[in-house]
Amino acid sequence: MRKLMLTLGWLCLALPASAQPAGRDYDASGRYQGRVEMQGDTSRRYDGSGRMIGRTERSGDTTRQYDSSGRLQGRIETNGGMARQYDSSGRLTGRTETSGDVSRHYDSSGRMTGRTERSGDTLRHYDSSGRLTGTTRR
């Protein structure tokens, strides 16, 4: 089954193929922040002004992230409901655990840094204190 890899900073979620259309990102106040476009196993991220700010390529259970100049920024390895994030030097920088429609995000020391909840076509992003930090609508 094909999945959409949605990446917001190091936040990465795998969504069903039915979520393939380009996503639009908004901050907590509802202001447009940018978009994500999919083509095969590659996604390109654009800022609010339409400039490409990065791309993500997926191969098997590994996703590699690049900046707008094509430099490797890091990788994400998935295994079941857990994704581990690494920087360009291979150091663990965090992990995401997903259960149902809720993902919890942790830093390299195991501290929870936020969570994401899926409700219909909207993702809601929260910080470690439970405050809404942004939404993504499809």
- Which of the four pLDDT bands, split at 50, 70 and 90, describes residue 5? very low
Q: What is the mean pLDDT of residues 78-103?
A: 84
Q: Is 86 contained in some domain? A: no
Q: What range does the domain containing 48 cover?
A: 3-76+95-137
Q: Is 61 contained in some domain? A: yes
pTM above 0.75, yes or no: no
How many structural domains are present in the chain? 1
Q: What is the mean pLDDT of residues 3-18?
A: 46
Cα–Cα distances in angstroms (integers) from residue 56 to residues 8, 91, 109, 134, in the given order: 11, 19, 25, 21
- Predicted confidence at residue 49, as pLDDT, reads 80
Q: Is 88 contained in some domain? A: no
